[in-house]
Amino acid sequence: MAVSVEGLASAVKGRVVEAGAPDYDDSRALYNAMIDKRPAAIAYCVDESDVAAALRYGIEHGLTIAVRGGGHNGGGLGSVDGGLVIDLSQMKAIEVDAGARVARVGGGALLKDVLEATHQHGLTVPVGIIGTTGVGGLTLGGGMGHLTRALGLTIDNLLAATVVLADGTVVQTDSEREPELFWALRGGGGNFGVVTSFSFRCHPVTTVLAGPVLYDLEDTAELLTWYRDFLPAAPDELGGFFAFMTVPPAPPFPEELHMRKMCGVAWTQAGEEESDALREARSFGKPVLDGIAPMPLPVWNTAFDALYPPGDQWYWRGEFIREIPDEAIAVHAEYGAALPTWKSTMHLYAIDGAASRVANDATAWSYRDAIWGGVFAGVDPDPANAGALREWCVSYSDAIKPYAMGGGYVNFHMDEPDRVRGMYGANYDRLARIKAQYDPDNVLRINQNIAPSA
């Protein structure tokens, strides 16, 4: 039976799309087409008071509430069957105070919006590697990307936030105001309120020397053995994620490499002048392709967007990794050679350097001693391949688990309630107490959910 949302459209100023409306299917679609949720309504909130009104409406009418930022969540946690989606995509205004090096970013902005706006002022914020990802989910989970070793996680650059709490109250938070809430927002996911504005510290990075250096798949063991020793000892300025990939059948890749499975490292270094470390990295082994070139950061940071448009099937998992012993390298080589489809991939994001110099309990992100955040992603446009994507991802990540730290990254999982406690690790109990203070009824529960516990 259809859930009634009578009165919702007049309760909020923004557009409301109800089940059955002509644009309902477009409106409910998520980035991951493997997830097919049918909410009762989607409210496109335009400001904080709209978010508060939608929250109150949802609570009063007994609707389960989901909050959607960029809609990129693997498990589809930006939506909910039969409930109310608070969509933030209209709230993406960005103000950059170049003098103070601060960007104030609407809670529904995408990474590419932030990259473009800050770039115009010769600045940037370290974010994830794909421009269409939402700032909201990425930041609240942590945020790892090309510049993590140099500039820290996205949360390490969060200075303040405006939050609509579950009861509709609006609060400002930073290290002085509501400090426990501010602590929890930095890694605790969407559990604590709807963030309508993030203030980020910006850094003077405009151009990067970046690109993939690709090797024959047969060189996996040699490359990964070298990489695991080389990168942690390299200066923070150099970032580089190890990857298995299939060369996309499109420029700028040379035709003779199209659709060839390869291993490689996607390197990033701020500035145009090649550092000694990058020079050394590029000279390792026998690369088949060296795609490193100077380019504006937003270009590099959106370079994979066309390869991964919305609407593909995704099944993914993550693992935090401190060491890559030889036995693990053998596992990687086996599964890297068995990528189930050409868009499937495995990345090891380097998250040491600046990110590892923050204490484990300084923010809710509790994996500061990890060197890598690994992601195993089965991806394909064809729903018929969903089973194969899942099987490869689950067996690869299970095979790596003995060499991983346990737990998981809030942002690299499907909807996996059994793993939630591990995602927050040693910080879980403190997060549960903060949840009890700010959302005692667990109104915001469509996320990697922390049960309130006083």
One of 12, 45, 96, 130 touching ligand FAD (CB under 6 A): 130
**Stretch in the footprint of ligand FAD (CB under 6 A) among 1-9, 135-143, 333-341, 390-398:** 135-143
User: CB burial class (10 A; 0-12, 13-18, 19+) of residue 43?
Assistant: buried
**C-beta of residue 403 within 8 angstroms of C-beta of residue 193:** no
Q: How far is the CB of 67 from ligand FAD (least distance, A)?
A: 4
Q: Is 315 one of the binding residues for ligand FAD (CB under 6 A)?
A: no
Within 13 Å, how many C-alpha atoms sit on residue 422's CB side?
15
**Which residue has tokens 């089973």?**
387
In the list 14, 39, 58, 107, the residue contacting ligand FAD (rule: CB under 6 A) is 107
Two tokens, residue 108: 């529904």
Q: Which is nearer to ligand FAD, 132 or 206 (CB)?
A: 132
Alpha-carbon separation of residue 17 from 86, 144, 333 (angstroms)? 11, 33, 47
Phi, psi of 68, rounded to the nearest 5 degrees = -115, 120
d(CA 209, CA 220): 24
Instruction: Write out the binding residues for ligand FAD, residues 236-275 only, by CB under 6 A.
Output: none
**Residue 5 sits in the site that holds ligand FAD (CB under 6 A):** no
DSSP 356: G
Q: Does residue 335 belong to the site contacting ligand FAD (CB under 6 A)?
A: no
Taking the complex as a whole, the smallest distance from the CB of residue 1 to ligand FAD amounts, in Å, to 26
Site size for ligand FAD (CB under 6 A): 36
Q: Judge whether 32 and 313 are in contact, CB under 8 Å.
A: yes
Cβ atoms 92, 72 nearer than 8 A = no
Write out the two tokens for 433: 């107490």
Figure out which of the listed residues 136, 187, 298, 408 binds ligand FAD, where binding follows CB under 6 A. Answer: 136
Residues with Cβ < 8 Å from 434, sequence gap 6 or more? Answer: 180, 181, 183, 184, 188, 192
308 lies in the site for ligand FAD, by CB under 6 A: yes
Provide, rounded to whole angstroms, the least separation between the CB of residue 341 and ligand FAD: 15
C-alpha span between 328 and 342 (Å, rounded): 23
Q: Which of 78, 83 has the CB closer to ligand FAD?
A: 78
Which residues contact residue 439 at a Cβ distance below 8 angstroms, ignoring those fewer than 6 apart? 165, 166, 191, 192, 193, 452
CB 326 within 8 A of CB 222: no
Please tell me whether residue 145 binds ligand FAD under the rule CB under 6 A.
Answer: yes
**Is the CB of 206 or the CB of 313 nearer to ligand FAD?**
313
133 lies in the site for ligand FAD, by CB under 6 A: yes
Site for ligand FAD, residues 43 to 82, rule: CB under 6 A: 66-74, 77-78
Q: Is 447 in the site for ligand FAD (CB under 6 A)?
A: yes
- The nearest distance, CB 283 to ligand FAD, in angstroms, is 27
Tell me the Cα Rg of the chain. 21
190 binds ligand FAD (CB under 6 A): yes
Question: Candidates 93-101, 143-151, 259-267, 392-400 — which segment interacts with ligand FAD by CB under 6 A?
Answer: 143-151
The span of 41-49, 93-101, 129-137, 256-264 binding ligand FAD (CB under 6 A) equals 129-137
Work out whether 411 is an interface residue with ligand FAD (CB under 6 A): yes
392 binds ligand FAD (CB under 6 A): no
Beta bridge partners of 298: none
CB nearer to ligand FAD: pick between 78 and 336: 78
Closer to ligand FAD by CB, 144 or 270: give it.
Answer: 144
336 binds ligand FAD (CB under 6 A): no
Nearest-5° angle of CA 17, CA 20, CA 21?
A: 45
Beta bridge partners of 213: 265, 290
By CB under 6 A, tell whether 89 contacts ligand FAD.
no
In this structure, which amino acid lies at residue 318? Answer: G
Binding piece for ligand FAD, criterion CB under 6 A, among 4-12, 127-135, 225-233, 321-329:
127-135
* Exposure b/e, 230-252, CB count within 10 A at least 16 = b: bbbebebbbbbbbbbbbbbeeee
By the rule CB under 6 A, 140 interacts with ligand FAD:
yes
17 pairs with which residues across the strands? 42
Binding residue for ligand FAD (CB under 6 A) from 58, 83, 131, 134? 134
| Residues forming a β-bridge with 293 | 210
Cβ closest to ligand FAD, residue 194 vs residue 288: 194
Under the binding rule (CB under 6 A), the answer on residue 343 touching ligand FAD is: no
92 binds ligand FAD (CB under 6 A): no
Q: Which residues bind ligand FAD (CB under 6 A)?
A: 31, 66-74, 77-78, 88, 107, 128-130, 133-134, 136-138, 140-145, 189-190, 194-195, 308, 411, 446-447
